[in-house]
């Protein structure tokens, strides 16, 4: 009967360790942009916020360092990872290559059930584009890519792909309504689905890479527009175009 409390508090909050809950909370806040890049994370302050002591906070921060979401500054505490435009482009490119890799394997290995599920999912996105429902499209997009990861039937690769994707989510989150990127995104998804349906993994792979690189190119344009050719050495709060 006490399980009702668990549901009431939140999704999966009290099940695990305190340090895990703090880590997950911080991950969400960084990915969502609530914690902007470069902002300092003081241990005592976080401990007060979460009603815990510094020990689990420290553990959570150390784990985030390994994940690459925060950086240590000597003995001056940790800050939300402050990435250079070059590094962001590197991450986008890596993400593009990883996604392309997954599409290729997924095309060759997905079961008919998985394929039909993916097709159905893709078709459902048309209504979101028509309604210009960016939130719904964002959620769909995440599921779409995760289905492809899963269809590789390689759980390790799926985890790696999801990790890279998670690290970029902070940049993808905001400013979805940038130009007509969503409609183009859907068109590109359509071309990818075409190749998958034909069982042409290499074509699907190339199209997925182009799909992701289109977002990166739009990002580059956006950065140049906003900061000029030689902008600030680091950014982290800028909205990015949707893939």
Query: Applying CB under 7 A, which residues contact DNA?
Result: 17-19, 40-45, 47, 51-56, 58-59, 72, 74-77
* Helix or strand run (H / E) with residue 154: none
Q: Which of 59, 71, 114, 200 binds a copy of itself (CB under 8 A)?
A: 59
Largest Cα–Cα separation, the chain: 61
In this structure, what DSSP letter does residue 235 have? B
**93 lies in the site for a copy of itself, by CB under 8 A:** yes
Query: Which CB, 110 or 182, lies closer to a copy of itself?
Result: 110
**Residue written as tokens 């300092």?**
40
Q: Out of DNA, a copy of itself, none, which partner does residue 101 contact, by CB within 5 to 8 A per kind?
A: a copy of itself
**90 lies in the site for a copy of itself, by CB under 8 A:** yes
Q: Out of DNA, a copy of itself, none, which partner does residue 97 contact, by CB within 5 to 8 A per kind?
A: a copy of itself
What strand order describes the sheet that includes 70-72?
40-41, 78-80, 70-72
In this structure, what DSSP letter does residue 156 have? H
CA dist 92 and 96 (Å) reads 6
Smallest separation, CB 94 to a copy of itself (Å): 4
Smallest separation, CB 114 to a copy of itself (Å): 17
* Helix or strand run (H / E) with residue 182: helix 181-197
**73 lies in the site for a copy of itself, by CB under 8 A:** no
CA dist 89 and 72 (Å) reads 22
Q: Which residues bind a copy of itself (CB under 8 A)?
A: 19, 55, 58-59, 62-63, 65-67, 87, 90-91, 93-94, 97-98, 101, 105, 154-157, 160, 164
């Amino acid at each position: 009967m006490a399980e009702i409390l668990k549901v009431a508090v939140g999704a999966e909050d009290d099940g695990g360790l305190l340090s895990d809950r703090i880590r997950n909370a911080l991950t969400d806040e960084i990915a969502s942009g609530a914690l902007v890049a470069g902002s300092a994370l003081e241990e005592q302050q976080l401990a007060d916020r979460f009603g815990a002591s510094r020990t689990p906070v420290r553990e959570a921060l150390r784990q985030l360092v390994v994940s690459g979401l925060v950086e240590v500054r000597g003995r001056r505490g940790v800050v939300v990872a402050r990435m250079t435009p070059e590094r962001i482009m590197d991450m986008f490119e890596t993400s593009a290559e990883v996604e392309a890799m997954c599409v290729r394997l997924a095309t060759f290995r997905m079961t008919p059930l998985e394929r039909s599920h993916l097709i159905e999912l893709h078709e459902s996105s048309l209504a979101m584009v028509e309604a210009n429902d960016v939130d719904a499209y964002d959620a769909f997009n995440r599921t779409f890519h995760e289905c492809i990861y899963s269809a590789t039937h390689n759980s390790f690769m799926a985890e790696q792909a999801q990790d890279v994707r998670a690290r970029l989510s902070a940049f993808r989150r905001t400013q979805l309504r940038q130009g007509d990127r969503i409609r183009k995104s859907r068109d590109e998804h359509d071309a990818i689905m075409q190749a998958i349906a034909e069982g042409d993994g290499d074509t699907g792979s190339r199209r997925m890479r182009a799909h992701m690189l289109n977002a990166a190119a739009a990002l580059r344009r956006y950065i140049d527009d906003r900061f000029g050719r030689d902008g600030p050495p680091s950014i982290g709060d800028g909205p990015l175009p949707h893939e």
